[in-house]
Structures are given as structure tokens and as C-alpha cells.
């Protein structure tokens, strides 16, 4: 019979052998590989796998999370929260082994769509542009473009440039998105022929920085007016006056600019005098 001392030595040898053969962490694999968050206090969840030198996952293995700056906070479980615009590196650490992903935060607060509701009247295929303004949390306008979609493309579609085109009578909502931030405009499509369009006022005065709203009225083949229709507005001289998709012109410098409206191939013009 082996002695007690011999048995204890055997157990010690087996324990040492098992410890030597135990898999050790070699890397931390984080998904996704890079992150872009739009909006302050928005969050995203990261996942991490601790791998051995053969690339096999170690279970269970829960890494600790940290961030290189106050642009984001890194919470247990891999949730990161945007705190201000900028860039940071997020690190997952397990037993001295680390993995990192770059994170960028873009301060987007709102997407303002103009007009908020569109009456798109004319034959199928009639198009009007959407005007939009992307602003940050301090109401500063940002040079960012949303991605567009229509809730019912069988009624109206919208292009990547924000051009709404009628397909069939009905209602839909066109939506502009940047990350999780979105804005929308309700579109009502009425299919009917347009005989002519009018713009009012025909002549208007404005100071530099002032705004003037031009209204368009369409007329059907029956001669009856169709008020408050969406149309395409253009200015002959953007350095004198600009005009948005809702027909609101803004004086930029003294001079005269023609404000032209177009709907279903019919056009009309007004004059804005800026002083």
C-alpha cells in the first residue's frame, strides 16, 4: 500500500500538470470593430470574447471595460454611452490581455424637415424636394445628410437626395435618419392634372436677413384652385435671396431675385427686392 506521503505527492504532481495544461487568455475579440454614435447620451452595446492562443473562446471569461477619455463612458457588460463629440478608444481587459475599438461620437440632436406636411398634387411622377436642417445639441447647423425612406413607397418614393415623387393616391411618411436620430414629413398624394400655377405675392420687399413666404396655388383643368400644394421653388440669384422647399425666401444682400415655382411642368415667377 502506498504511503500517505506518496499519495500526497501524486496529487501535487497531477495538480501541477493540470495547471500547466490549462488554457490561458491570448486575445480579446471585440464586436463591432469600430463604432460611430450619433447623438449625446445615445448608447451602443459591445460584445467581447476572450480567446486562447488557438483562437478558441474561454468560458466563462468576463472582461472589464474602460474608455480612454470622457467622450464616452464604458459600463460593465460592454455598454458605452456618448457624452460629448469627439473620439475615444474603448478597451476590454481580462487577466492582463486587452482588446480595443475606436469610437467616434457625433453630436446630432435634431433633423428638421421642411415642410412638415406635403400635399403632392399632379399626375403620377410629380416630384418636389425636401428641405432639411441637421442640428447639434447647441442648435448649430451641421453639414450632414440623412438617409431617406418612405413608409409607403407605393404612394410616394424619395431619392437619396431627398426628392419626393408621387406614385399613387394615398398617404405616406418620408423619413430622414442619421443614426438613431430621425425627422419626418407626412405626404398626401392626389393624382390630378394641373392646368396652371400662380405664385403670391408677385412682388415683395425684404431687408437683408428678413424672410418672405411665397404661396403657390395650382389650378386644375376645371379651373378650380388647389391651394397649399407642394412645388419646386428656385431663385435666380442665391447671392441675393435663397428659397427653401416651403417657399420661404431669405434676403442675403441688396438686389433683386426672381423666385420661380414649378409644378407638374407648369411655372410662375415672382420678384423679391432686397434692400
Mind listing the pLDDT tens digit for each residue in 248-262? 999 999 999 999 999
CA gap 101, 6 in Å, rounded: 52
Query: Tens of pLDDT along 139-186?
Result: 999 999 999 999 999 999 999 999 999 999 999 999 999 999 999 999
Q: Phi and psi (nearest 5°) for 22?
A: -60, 140
pLDDT for 123-135, tens place per residue?
999 999 988 999 9
Residue 2 pLDDT > 90: no
Q: What is the mean pLDDT of residues 95-102?
A: 96
Which residue shows C-alpha cell 447647441? 138
Task: Evaluate whether 23-106 and 110-191 have a shared fold.
Answer: yes
Lowest-confidence region among 33-42, 108-117, 153-162: 108-117
Cα dist from 71 to 39, 90, 140, whole Å: 12, 10, 19
**CATH C-level class of 23-106:** mainly beta
- Closest alpha carbon to 180 in 87, 81, 101: 81
Helix (H, G, I), strand (E, B) or coil at 201: coil
Helix (H) or strand (E) holding 117: strand 117-122
CA quadruple 160, 38, 87, 68: dihedral sign: negative
- Domain at 110-191: CATH code: 2.60.40.1080
Tell me which residue has cell 460611430: 36
Grid coordinates representing 145 are 445628410
Residue 115 pLDDT: 82
Strands of the sheet containing 266-274, edge to edge, are: 203-206, 266-274, 255-263, 232-235
CA torsion 249-265-171-187 (nearest 10°) is -10
Angle at 141 between CA 136 and CA 146, to 5 degrees: 80
Architecture of domain 196-274: Sandwich (2.60)
Residue corresponding to grid cell 464604458: 74
3-class DSSP state of 19: helix
Domain locations in the chain as residue ranges: 23-106, 110-191, 196-274
Nearest to 155 by CA among 132, 189, 127, 121: 189
Amino acid at each position: 500500500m502506498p504511503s500517505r506521503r506518496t499519495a500526497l505527492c501524486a496529487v501535487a504532481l497531477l495538480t501541477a500538470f493540470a495547471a500547466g495544461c490549462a488554457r490561458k487568455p491570448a486575445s480579446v475579440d471585440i464586436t463591432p470593430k469600430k463604432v460611430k454614435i450619433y447623438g449625446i447620451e445615445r448608447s451602443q452595446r459591445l460584445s467581447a470574447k476572450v480567446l486562447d492562443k488557438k483562437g478558441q473562446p474561454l468560458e466563462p471569461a468576463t472582461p472589464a471595460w474602460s474608455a480612454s477619455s470622457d467622450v464616452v463612458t464604458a459600463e460593465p457588460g460592454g455598454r458605452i454611452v456618448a457624452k460629448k463629440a469627439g473620439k475615444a478608444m474603448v478597451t476590454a481587459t481580462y487577466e492582463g490581455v486587452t482588446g480595443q475599438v475606436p469610437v467616434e461620437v457625433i453630436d446630432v440632436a435634431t433633423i428638421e424637415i421642411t415642410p412638415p406636411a406635403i400635399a403632392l398634387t399632379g399626375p403620377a411622377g410629380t416630384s418636389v424636394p425636401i428641405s432639411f436642417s441637421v442640428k447639434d445639441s447647441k442648435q448649430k447647423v451641421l453639414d450632414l445628410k440623412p438617409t431617406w425612406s418612405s413608409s409607403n413607397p407605393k404612394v410616394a418614393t424619395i431619392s437619396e437626395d431627398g426628392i419626393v415623387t408621387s406614385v399613387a393616391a394615398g398617404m405616406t411618411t418620408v423619413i430622414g435618419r442619421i443614426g438613431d436620430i430621425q425627422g419626418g414629413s407626412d405626404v398626401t398624394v392626389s393624382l390630378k392634372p394641373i392646368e396652371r400655377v400662380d405664385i403670391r405675392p408677385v412682388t415683395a420687399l425684404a431687408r437683408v436677413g428678413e424672410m418672405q413666404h411665397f404661396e403657390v396655388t395650382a389650378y386644375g383643368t376645371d379651373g378650380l384652385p388647389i391651394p397649399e400644394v407642394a412645388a419646386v421653388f428656385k431663385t435666380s440669384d442665391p447671392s441675393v435671396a435663397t428659397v427653401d422647399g416651403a417657399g420661404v425666401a431669405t434676403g442675403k444682400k441688396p438686389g433683386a431675385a426672381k423666385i420661380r415655382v414649378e409644378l407638374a411642368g407648369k411655372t410662375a415667377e415672382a420678384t423679391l427686392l432686397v434692400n
